[in-house]
Structure 1
Amino acid sequence: MRVFKFGGASVKDAAGINNVFDVLQKVGYDDVLLVVSAMGKTTNALEVVVKDYFDKSAALKASVQEVRKYHNQILLDLFEDERHPVFKAVNDLFAELDYFLGHNKSPNYNFVYDQIVSFGELVSTTILSYYMNHRGIKTHWIDVRQFIKTDATYRDAEVNWELTQKNISKGIKKKTLHITQGFLGSDENGFTTTLGREGSDYTAAIFAYCLGAESVTIWKDVPGVMNADPRYFENATLLNQISYREAIELAFYGASVIHPKTLQPLQRKEIPLFVKSFVEPLLPGTSVSKGADLEPYLPCFIVKKNQLLISLSSIDFSFIMEENISEIFALLHQFKMKVSLIQNSAISFSVCIEDKFGNFNELKNKLSKKFKVAYNENVSLYTIRHFNEKAAEMVQENKTVLLKQSSRETMQVVTKEITS
């Protein structure tokens, strides 16, 4: 089997859904399993619903209606007859969401988040499945929560591989076009869990691993994996081939094209991953597989904006030793800070972090009890894999360099824009 993953950008409107149909016509759909994300920015819109629910906001009804209206317009654009059964199927899902909002008793934010946000994928796959059938491509819609079983770590669930393997081996029939949801699973009580933001790629890898698939293809609005983000770098170049090891390195440093957890199950069974354009589906795109690290071999640039650079030094000029570093990391973990770079000397310790959950002030107060704390906000972290002198100069140009370190293959530079 082949596993295809279509993200939110590919199904953001009726034209996008039509295009998925065209892509399947061009590349074939026998023995294919489609993993599909929520449409467009639906996950963001459902996060507003979660916020309004916890704020007990009068806007809750309107924020749900906004999501419903968006999908209803897509339905009206795709299906001429409003008596088509897809309208009832989608209405039933929104009725389920309304029921949850009216009857939930759990105060657990992460639990509630997963139950609400999951409707994005359930609705998108329902619409896509009905539309494919309507256009003559027979599909089998499946609820991923009956296949991917996880623990109860809501918003970042761990997969129960043994149970998941058993469910997929037993429940996925060959010679059928299956459509299922990315990002979702369920715990032992049947409650919905999610695999972390951008987890749909991971879903595709889980199915591929359990099915021993021929390949995984991630369909995007770019020609493949580039050596740099075209939004920040001119003359970004398409990478034809990347090894699993190199792709894992790039993902670790923050390259956003491939989800970090996606590559490990694929690498274990040597299942190739292709990143291709849904605009030009017959182009070869990028292959992530066993083989050369990079083709062509050239520097790869990753930039992470809005980072925090914290520098800690001991109050009494004593050394920062293992026990101090252990304590610092325990606090970083406690306050859910994503660490991107560390550097230490005898009496100081610097760390570049991402404050995804807005916990920095609390962290700073804790650290200030034992250390002198200096910090820079809104810094950028540039990582260059396979750097050379020209590449290093380029990322430092017209910027203040706050910290720099390099190994044989990788250079990292923390910079601040020079303000006039």
Structure 2
Amino acid sequence: MKVFKFGGASVKDAKGVKNVIEVLKKVGNSNILIIVSAMGKTTNALEIVVSHYLNNHPELKNAIDFIKKYHIEILKDLFDNKQHPVFEKVNSLISDMETTLKRNKSVQYDYVYDQIVCYGELIGTTVVSEYLSLEGYVNNWLDAREVIKTDEIYRDATVNWEITQQSIAEKVNKKGLTITQGFIASDTNNFTTTLGREGSDYSAGIFAYCTNANSVSIWKDVPGVLNGDPRVFENTKLLSQISYEEAIELAFYGASVIHPKTLQPLQRKEIPLYVKSFINPLDDGTSVKKGQRLVPHIPCFIVKKDQILLSLSSLDFSFIVEDNISEIFSLFHTYQLKVDLIQNSAISFSVCLDDKFNNFEKLLSHLKAKFSVVYEKSVSLYTIRHFDEEAIQSLEENKDILLKQSTKETYQMVAKQ
């Protein structure tokens, strides 16, 4: 069996959904499990719904209507028969979402987020599944929440591999064609959880691991893994092959093409990963396998924006020692701040943080009680893997640099945005 993953950009409209069939025509459609993300920018639109709901915003109904209209317009372009059951199925899912909001008693953002944002994937896969059926591609629609089981850490859940593997073995048919969702799962109480933003790639890794798939293909609007985000860096080049280890390094530093968690289950069973273009599906793209060298061997550029540079020093100018650092990292864990860079001296300790859960202000109140605190928000963390002097010079040009450091293979700097 092979696992395919189509992201939101690949199914953002009727043309994109039709292109899924074109891909299957060219590369085959038997013994395949397809993971589909929410269509287009639906996740962003659902995040607005969550925000409006929790803040009692008067635009809540309009935000829901926007999502409904967006999907109905796609359906009208795909299905000539307006009486096709898919219209009722999509309307029913949106009604379910509205009922969930009405019945909800929680004010916890992360919990509400997962219960609502999941509808993007449920609707998107329903549309794709029904259109494939219309075109003669018999398929099985599977609710990923029935098989991927996690803990109760909403928005960033940890997979229970033992239960998940057993469930997938029981419910996933390795023959034929299966359509399921990325990103979503459920806890032991069957409440929806999510695997972190961009977690659909991770879902592909989970299904591949649990089914012993031959390969995973992630279909993108780029030709494969590039040595930099073309929206940020000029003259980017395709990396035709990289190793699991290198891909994990790139993902760790923030490369957006492959989700950081995706590669770990694939590496354990040495399942090849291919990142390919859904526009040109027969092109080779990028292969990610065990032990293969980086080709071509060139600098790779990564940027993470909207970071926080935090510098701490002791109030009495004593050394920052192990006890201090242990306490600081415990607070980072408590407030769910991800550390992307560390630099320390005898009396100071600096970190670049990713505050995706918006807990930094809570952290500050604790830190200021024991440390002298200096911080700068809205900074960018730049990373170059396999750097050379030319690459560093081009990156540093015209930037207000706050901090930089390098190791044998990796150069990093923090600069104002």
Normalising by structure 1, we get a TM-score of 0.96
Q: Distance in 1 between matches of 2:120 and 2:190?
A: 18
* Structure-2 change in CA distance of 1:134 and 1:385 (3 Å): same
CA RMSD in angstroms, aligned pairs only: 1.3
Structure 1: 5+ residue stretches without partners: none
In the superposition, relative to structure 1, how do residues 359 and 152 fare at CA in structure 2: closer, same or farther (>3 Å)? closer
1:361 to partner: Cα distance:
3.1
Alignment of 1:243-322 (within 5 A): 243-322=243-322
Of 40-49 and 400-409, more deviation after overlay is shown by: 400-409
Matches within 5 A, 1:171-250: 171-250=171-250
The answer as to 2:175 corresponding to 1:167 is no
SS of the residue aligned with 1:87? helix
Which stretch has the larger CA shift, 259-268 or 182-191?
182-191
Match runs of 1:16-415 below 5 Å? 16-415=16-415
Supply the AA of the counterpart residue of 2:256.
Answer: S
Q: Counterpart of 1:260 in 2: which secondary structure?
A: coil
Structure 2 residues without counterparts, runs of 5 or longer: none
Secondary structure of 2:341's partner? Answer: strand
Q: Cα deviations across residues 267-295 of structure 1 (Å, max 9, x unaligned)?
A: 00000000000011110000011132311
Task: Give the partner amino acid of 2:271.
Answer: I
Contact residue 306 and residue 377 of structure 1 kept, 8 A: yes
**Relative to 1, partners in 2 of residues 1:186 and 1:377: Cα closer, same or farther, differing over 3 Å?**
closer
CA distance in 1, matches of 2:7, 2:332: 32
Mean Cα displacement is larger for which, 87-96 or 248-257?
87-96
| Aligned structure 1 segments of 4 or more residues deviating by more than 6 angstroms | none
Distance 2:70 2:234 in 1: 35
Q: Distance in 2 between matches of 1:100 and 1:361?
A: 31
- For residue 400 of structure 2, give the secondary structure of its aligned residue in structure 1: strand
In 2, the alpha carbon distance for the partners of 1:51 and 1:219 equals 31
- Matched residue of 1:295: which SS? coil
Instruction: Measure the CA separation in 1 of the matches of 2:116 and 2:401.
Output: 43
Change (3 A) 1:395 1:204: same
* Percent of matched pairs sharing the same residue: 63
Task: Note the alpha carbon deviations across 1:11-36, whole angstroms, 9 max, x for none.
Answer: 11111101111111111111000000
Amino acid in the other structure paired with 1:120: G
Change (3 A) 1:104 1:360: closer
The residue type paired with residue 236 of structure 2 is: A
228-237 vs 366-375, which moves further: 366-375
Partners of 1:103 and 1:191 in 2: CA distance: 14
TM-score by length of 2: 0.97
Partners of 2:195 and 2:379 in 1: CA distance:
29
- Offset, 1:299: 1.1
Shift of 1:371: 1.8
**C-alpha distance in structure 2 between counterparts of 1:158 and 1:97, whole Å:** 24
Equivalent AA in structure 2 for residue 413 of structure 1:
M
Secondary structure of the equivalent of 1:151?
A: coil
Structure 2 CA distance for partners of 1:168 and 1:330, relative to 1, 3 Å: same
SS in 2 for 1:216: strand
CA contact (8 A) 1:155 1:196 kept: yes
- In 2, the alpha carbon distance for the partners of 1:174 and 1:351 equals 46
Deviation at 1:107, TM superposition (A): 3.1
Moved more, 35-44 or 189-198: 189-198
Counterpart AA for 2:354: E
Q: Specify whether residues 175 and 358 from structure 1 end up closer, same or farther in structure 2 by C-alpha distance, changes over 3 A only.
A: closer
| Distance in 2 between residues matched to 1:104 and 1:310, nearest whole Å | 37
Alignment partners' CA distance in 2, 1:98 and 1:352: 39
Contact 1:148–1:185 under 8 Å retained in 2: yes
Is 239-248 or 106-115 further displaced after alignment?
A: 106-115
Separation of aligned partners in 2, 1:369 and 1:188? 39
Residue type matched to 2:163 in 1?
L
Amino acid paired to 2:299: P
- The CA deviation at 1:120 is 0.5
| Cα contact 1:245–1:293 (8 A) shared by 2 | no
